[in-house]
Every structure is written in C-alpha cells, then in structure tokens.
Structure 1
Amino acid sequence: MNKIGRLNNIVLYLKEHNGASIKELATAFNVSEMTIRRDLTLLESKHVIKLVHGAAIFNNDDSVSFGEVDYDLLNESSKQSLEKLKIGQFAASLVEPNDTIILDTGTTTEQIAHYLPTNMPLTVLCYNMNTLMAISNKPNINIIFAGGYYYKNLQLFQSPEGVKMIRRIRANKAFISASGVSQKLGVTCVEQIEVDTKQAAISSSLSKILVFDSSKLDKIGPSYFAQITDFDAIITDNNIPEDWIEFLKTTNIKLYTV
C-alpha cells in the first residue's frame, strides 16, 4: 500500500475503532512503529487526528476546516473517508473485463483504483500520482499515463500534450470527481488547471460517471467544467437530500447510492 493509501486507511481505522495505539496500527498495516509514528505526526499536523500518550484518536472537532485556498489532496483524503471508500468500491464493481477506463484526479477516484480487480484485464488511463501508485502493482492492468507539469497539492500531472493524448483515447467509462455540484451552476472543481483535463476525459468516454460524496452537493467550486446532464450516472453516498433525488428523477441520469 502506498503512503497516501495508508494514511487514508489509518484515518478510516481510527474512525471505526474510536482510536488505536501505535503498536496496534503498526500491526494492522504491517509496517514499523517508526513508520506509523511518522504517519501520525503528519496527520496530527493537518489536524486530522490527535496523539495522546502513545495512541491516536480521530479529530471530531467540526470547527476544523482546511479551506479551498489551501487545498491539498492529503487533507481532502481525510474528509468523508468512509463514504469515499464505499463509493470507490461500488464504482470499481461496474468495471467489466477488457474495459478501457479513465480515472480522474481526486481522493474518491483513488479509492476506485484501490478496488479495481486484480484478475481482470483492463486498460486504465490516469494522470494523478496517487492513482498511478494505487494501480502500479496490479497485474492485468495496462496503464496509460498522461503526464506533464506536476501540481503537488493536487498530485496532478497536466500539460497541453497530456490533454491532447487523453482526447485521442477512447474509453468505455470515465469516473470523474468534483468539489462542487449545483443544480443551477453545474459541476465544479478547485483549480482551473484541472478543467481541460476533466473535459478531455469526458469527451473521450462512452459512459461518463460522476463520483462524489454528498457533502459536495449544493457547493460551488471556483472552476466550472461540466453540466450535471453531461453525465450518464452519479455515484454518491446515501446521505443525498430528497430534493436532489427528486431533481435527478427529472433527468436521464442513473443514480447509485451506497
């Protein structure tokens, strides 16, 4: 498991077990106690967890907010982490043998990468470090990586050449993430630099699937990239409000809740 994946799963473990000792975490994740200490120190610096006498607990302080200005993928991975895991697991179950799929930037799409089957022949196009690491050791997956300049806070590689490459690919399914989904103002993301890549992925795919946890509903990010009706399906958690369920019934979008 790569570091980002391990950090995300440490947060899940702490939420589900109401805390854990350093020794317990080291055993659970099959790493040294020194590695766990480094992981926990990083998570504590991000105000995700609290360290108390050789143990760690999840920070349930609702006042903690990372804010969009200081957006960082590691910070984002700790939010709604259980919901993202379930969304990723379900989304991966929709993949069929010999599919070519595109995995967009984000922490929810990273979970899809973790749950892709190892015994199924697939081709995966991606452009994020966290996603690449999650699939790099999976047998039977052919990887296409659209490279470019590295944006560390997003773990995104982006370039005009990379966008052109994505537009030349034809995929069965694209799993696209969002930081905001609004009935009036459409689907948005954090950084303008993401827009061309996301739009290229959408235009190159037969089936466009939007994946996000329900906290993104009625939020508006700074950078618009699509209308809700540009998507064939939405996968989110079962906390979706009733007005959204009714709204989506008026469209041709298939709604999956997990």
Structure 2
Amino acid sequence: MRKPKEKTTVQRRVIILEKLEEKGQVDVVSLSKALKVSEVTIRNDLKRLEQKNALIRARGGAIKVDRVGMDFTLSDKNKQNYDQKRRIGKAAAELIETGDTIILDSGTTTMEITKNLTNMGELTVITNALNIANQLAEHPKVNVIIPGGFLRKNSLSLIGATAEESFKNYFCDKLFLAVDGFSAAFGLSTPNVEEAHLNRVMMSISKQVIVVADSSKFHKRSFAFIAPVNEIDVLVTDDGIPPEDHKILESAGIKVIIV
C-alpha cells in the first residue's frame, strides 16, 4: 500500500491559515498530529507566517491576526458591541468615589462611563476627549480639566507633546483606559502612535489603572504598543472574555470584573 504523499510546505501553511480562519486559534500539538509532521516543523511554520503578518504566535500555538492600524471613527465604533460597552461603562463608573481625581481616556467605552456620572458627588475629571468634556459640562459637581494638544479627528481626542506635558502636571487616583487591542502576550495597543505615548503618560501619573475593553478586543493587536498587561490593576470586560485569558490575568494579580 502506497504511503500518503506528504504535503508541501506551501500546502501545509495554507491549511494552517484555513484552520486559523475557522477557529480563531490553533495549537502546535493538534497541527502536528493533523498534518503528520513534527512539532518543530509546525513551530517553524508559525514563525514564518508571523513574519508575514499572517498570524500572531501565542503560547503553544497561534491566534488569528486582524488587520492592524485600522483607525475607525467614533460613529463607526458606536455601532460595535454597544450593549457590552454600555454594561462595562456602568460597572466601571461604580468604581469611582466622591472626591476622586480621575482620567477618562478617549473612546466609546469611556463615554459610557461618562453617562453614568450624573449622580456623582464632587469629582475632578481630566480628559483629552472633547466629546467627553462636552458631556461632563452638564454636571455641576464635576470639575473638568482639558489638556492642550493636536486634535485627532477620528477620536475627537487631543494628543501630542503639548497634551503629554500637560498631563505630567497632575497626579490622579484612577485612570480609565480604553484600548483597541488586548493581548495577554503582546499587551495593550491602539492604532495611533501619539495616542499610545499619551496613554503611557496617563498610566505613569495614576495610582490605579483600570482598562475598559469589551471581549472583541481580546487576541487583537493594533499598530502602536501602549504597555504590557501586568501594568494594569483592573480590567472591566464582558462575559465573552476567553477563559484562558481570564485565568492568565487573575494569576498575574489583575482584578477582572465581568459584566
């Protein structure tokens, strides 16, 4: 009986990408058995495919890579996962105490936090988001501080060196940070480099870093790196969070709030 012909390297890598497209993630052991090649060969395949930006290698396998650098407008983002963002915003707002000085990063999820501050007592909010500042202008007990900077029209946020220097003048109790990509392996990310720089400054002046991100952000890596996940204190997300990520984050000492 003739032995089945071994698949070529190209054929093997096409199959890997097809499985990744179907399942969102693959593991070395399963691929090795399915394709009847060594785990070393599979790891080499994954390495080569990652070099071509076709996937992201993760512990024991790889995850699907979405197109990085996509910078959607606020109106586009408002249409995505709205119910999850609404619930996350409500839960995150419950972490705020009267008298706090907080930072609200730009984003549709942080806007949902803003909508839940109506009944708050005295509060100081520093935000680089013009739409959030406008919303907070209606609240008599909320003091609003806006940095200078260059307007990023897609997010209605102020960024750049002027914004960074302005934030360095303050120390805050809590930062509520919105991200476009959340990966236990590759950290937090955003489409804009200057926004990432500003986010790092925000983190450096805050006692507590709280990330608000719906589960669609997991296993995604956007263009600009912000920080590794071990630099955050709390994650507020929805029940779509992958179980393996939940375990990794809690084992790293990060409080995970699921809504």
> What is the TM-score when the length of structure 2 is the normalising length?
0.72
Alignment of 1:27-38 (within 5 A): none
- Cα displacement (A) at 1:66: 11
Q: Deviations over 1:142-200 (max 9, x none)?
A: 11101211111121112312211112211100000110111211110111120121111
What percent identity do the matched residue pairs reach?
Answer: 29
The SS at the match of 1:168 is: coil
Q: Which runs of 5+ in 2 are unaligned?
A: 1-65
CA gap of 1:79–1:89, structure 2 versus 1, over 3 A, is same
Which digits, 9 at most, give the CA deviation of each residue in 1:200-237, with x for residues without a partner?
A: 11001001001100000000000001110100110001
Q: How far apart are the structure 2 equivalents of 1:81 and 1:169?
A: 32
Name the aligned partner's letter for residue 146 of structure 1: P
* Residue 203 (structure 1) aligned with residue 204 (structure 2): yes
Partner of 2:227: 226
Match of 2:82 in 1: 81
Structure 2 letter corresponding to 1:174: L
Pair 178,70 (structure 1): closer, same or farther in 2 beyond 3 Å:
closer
Equivalent AA in structure 1 for residue 102 of structure 2: I
State how 1:48-197 maps to structure 2 within 5 Å.
69=70, 71-197=72-198
Contact in 1 for aligned 2:235/2:256 (Cα 8 Å): yes
Aligned to 1:255: 256
What is the CA deviation profile of residues 2-44 of structure 1, one whole-angstrom value per residue up to 9, with x for unaligned ones? Answer: xxxxxxxxxxxxxxxxxxxxxxxxxxxxxxxxxxxxxxxxxxx
Aligned CA RMSD, in angstroms, stands at 1.7
- Give distance in 2, aligned partners of 1:70 and 1:132: 22
Ranges of 4+ aligned residues in structure 1 off by more than 2 Å = 65-70
Structure 1, unpaired ranges of 5+: 1-64
1: distance between equivalents of 2:224 and 2:127? 20
Taking the aligned partners of 2:68 and 2:230, their CA distance within structure 1 comes to 28
Write the distance in 2 (CA, Å) between the matches of 1:196 and 1:214: 24
Does structure 2 conserve the Cα–Cα contact (< 8 Å) formed by 1:118 and 1:140?
A: no
Displacement after TM superposition at 1:67 (Å):
8.6
Q: Which amino acid aligns with 2:149?
A: G
Aligned residues: 194
Counterpart for residue 213 of structure 2: 212
State the secondary structure of the residue aligned to 1:118: coil
Query: Which range moved further: 126-135 or 83-92?
Result: 126-135
The answer (yes or no) to whether the contact 1:119–1:139 under 8 Å persists in 2 is no
Give, in whole Å, the separation in 2 of the partners of 1:210 and 1:177: 6
**Structure 1 length-normalised TM:** 0.72
Shift of 1:118: 3.3
Please tell me whether Structure 1 or Structure 2 has the larger radius of gyration of its CA atoms: 2
1:85-137 Cα distance to aligned partner (Å, 9 max, x none)? 11001111110010000001111011111111434100000011221122111
